[in-house]
Amino acid sequence: MIPELFDTVSFLLFTCILYFLSVFSKRFGEVMGMKKYYYLYYAGMFFTFAGSIIMSPYHILEKNELFGYVFFSTGLTLGIIASIKYWGWMISEIIKG
């Protein structure tokens, strides 16, 4: 029960991180005139939150770990794609030095 609780809490914390990134990226995108990639953060938040609900120790499904991890990894993948779209220019600036 304790490992599932840790998974649930950590998935919720990653959902909060994706929320803060979406707020920052939305403002940055409006200033820079970029496309609205922050919707990928919202989709990622949905999947990570759904993964946290599935991984909850009080959820009805018995064999739920695989579904929880699939939802979580899908959410983080969408968050990484959105982060690369918004903040990828920093990597090239760091490499150029």
Where are the chain's structural domains? 2-96
Share of the chain above pLDDT 90, in %: 44
Per-residue confidence band for 87, with pLDDT thresholds at 50, 70 and 90: confident
How far is the CA of 49 from the CAs of 32, 38, 43, 83, in angstroms?
29, 17, 10, 18
Instruction: Give the residue from 59, 81, 77 showing the smallest Cα distance to 68.
Output: 59
- Digit-coded pLDDT (tens) for 31-67: 888 888 889 999 999 999 998 888 877 766 666 788 8
